[in-house]
A = this chain, B = another copy of it.
Amino acid sequence: MQNVAEESAPQGGLRERKKRATRAALVEAAVRLAAEHGAENITVEAISETAGVSPRTFFNYFDSRDDVFVMIGAETSARLRRAVLEAPAELSPLQALRHALAAELAEVEQHHELWRLHAEVLRRSPRLLVRSLGVHAADELGLAETLAERMGADGPAAPSAGEESRRSALGLYPHLLAAVCVTAVRVAFEHWCVRQEERTFTDVFQETFDHLAAGLPAPSGTAGRP
């Protein structure tokens, strides 16, 4: 039951490795098929056949057909939360989160071919895009919890009781900060998708967070000024 010596190894038993491989195969098959033929024209049967499993097995991994298109960033959330906790203590909450996000984005760059296909699929399917937006927004609660932990106690102490109904134990500020930053990353990503040739993503990302940190004032050269 206990972990014997699996601290540095990235995988657990052989079983878990196979599960991860199957899941990854299903996701990759789905994304590639959808990028070519359009997400709406891909059936579960086609995906599972490409991945080499039965249609029934598909539903052992995903609750619905659409889930396979929006569950790519599953591991990102956990990494992000750890990075927030490990950020230098002298940073403000916003700065710490910005720092953690920048590190995570570098990670994503590794798999950028699949991410690019994924973005293409979402762009051509408004229904799936909406679903994806919702999933990312749902991440923010966990992130808000982590921010509250960082703000409340720097050490690993104070696991407050009452783990159920996490919303009620959270202050407004951590929830707002997490939600706004998740949103800001999404906007930066969408903006960059349209202008990939003109600017680097890091550039757009930094400008976005500069707006946030400044309190969202009207940009200099606009008609309606305060």
Cβ–Cβ < 8 Å partners of A224 in chain B? 89, 91-93, 150-151, 154
B212 to A216, Cβ gap below 8 A? yes
A217 to B92, Cβ gap below 8 A? yes
CB of A129 closer than 8 Å to a CB of B: yes
A94 to B194, Cβ gap below 8 A? no
CB distance from A17 to the nearest CB of B (A): 29
State the CA gap A153–B168 with chains docked (Å): 43
State the CA gap A63–B154 with chains docked (Å): 48
CB distance from A202 to the nearest CB of B (A): 14
A190 to B167, Cβ gap below 8 A? yes
Q: Mark A30-49, 1 if CB is under 8 A from B, else 0.
A: 00000000000000000000
- Nearest B residue to A182 by beta-carbon distance? B183
CB of A108 closer than 8 Å to a CB of B: no
B134 to A222, Cβ gap below 8 A? no
CB of A133 closer than 8 Å to a CB of B: yes
Cβ–Cβ < 8 Å partners of A211 in chain B? 172-173, 176
CB distance from A91 to the nearest CB of B (A): 7
State the CA gap A183–B212 with chains docked (Å): 13
Known: A130-B131, A131-B130, A133-B138. A191 touches B219 (CB 8 A): no
CB of A177 closer than 8 Å to a CB of B: yes
Q: Which of B93, B94, B131 contacts A134 (CB 8 A)?
A: B131
CB distance from A87 to the nearest CB of B (A): 10
Q: Which residues of A135-171 are within 8 A (CB) of B?
A: 135, 137-138, 150-154, 165, 167-168, 171
State the CA gap A195–B184 with chains docked (Å): 27
| Known pairs A92-B225, A172-B188 / 14 extra A-B pairs, C-beta < 8 Å | A92-B224, A92-B226, A93-B216, A95-B226, A130-B131, A130-B134, A130-B137, A150-B224, A151-B223, A152-B222, A176-B188, A176-B216, A180-B180, A180-B184
